[in-house]
Amino acid sequence: MKIVSYNVNGIRAAMRKGLISWLQSAQPDIVGFQEIKAKENQIDTQSLREIGYTYQYWFPAQKKGYSGTGIISKIKPKHVVFGTGIDYMDYEGRNIRADFDDFSFMSMYLPSGTNNERLLFKFKYMNDFLVYADKLKQKIPNLIISGDFNICHQPIDIHDPVRLQHVSGFLPEERAWLSAFINSGFVDSFRQFDPRPHQYTWWSYRAGSRKRNKGWRIDYHMVTTRLQKQIKRSLILPEALYSDHCPILIEL
């Protein structure tokens, strides 16, 4: 079972750049998207069906061209949940979950703290989501929460930890929250296999950041400890160039 998570920074733009061909080559069974920036009727769902993704679920933000998540799958889920039931999260389409026989998979897009107002929004989301996730994993112990967390956890997860320590995405409070999230019963699956620095999932479009590998690791497959032994591998796939992020893969 191969699962991919990908912040596509606009799914229509990613498709124009070749996303469909990449999916056909990589052959994941399930894909969680973040930042789709589109309503379902604006997405080329037929091309996805033609390469095997019969089951498609889209959760756009109410604001046009903004945020939003989605899940596509070759396997029919038993149940799909759109949102968390927490209104301000769901207005922005930030969480969608599909339940399968042996596990549940959530695609999540945690807010970025681009200014003081949004940073306060991000902290509120983080605090409320930690409570929500804790209750959810008690009900669904085999849980994978994947997506763009918009937080680098450790100094090895960011290209310049000293200069960027006061920038949202690497603030001490954000990093402490991510530690608390992991300690509540999750595994950062990538770090289970790869302890190396300079492994990133997002690069700014400015100043040739990607070419110079001046990046941030802010995308994660977080897996409950109950599922830890079933993780076969967890990879970053930087060769996919359809967004300012790259896909991440986990295989169970």
Helix residue spans in the chain (DSSP H):
11-17, 19-26, 45-50, 87-91, 116-139, 172-183, 189-193
Q: Which two tokens stand for residue 83?
A: 């949102």
**C-alpha span between 184 and 168 (Å, rounded):** 23
Q: Could you tell me if 71 and 57 are in contact, meaning their C-beta atoms sit under 8 angstroms apart?
A: yes
How many Å from the N-terminal Cα to the C-terminal Cα in the chain? 5
| Residue 90 annotated to the active site | no
Q: 148, 157, 188, 219: which is the annotated catalytic residue?
A: 148
Positive or negative torsion for Cα 74, 199, 149, 186 = positive
Residue 54's CB is within 10 A of a number of other CB atoms, namely: 11
Q: What are 222's two structure tokens?
A: 């977080």
Residues with catalytic function: 148
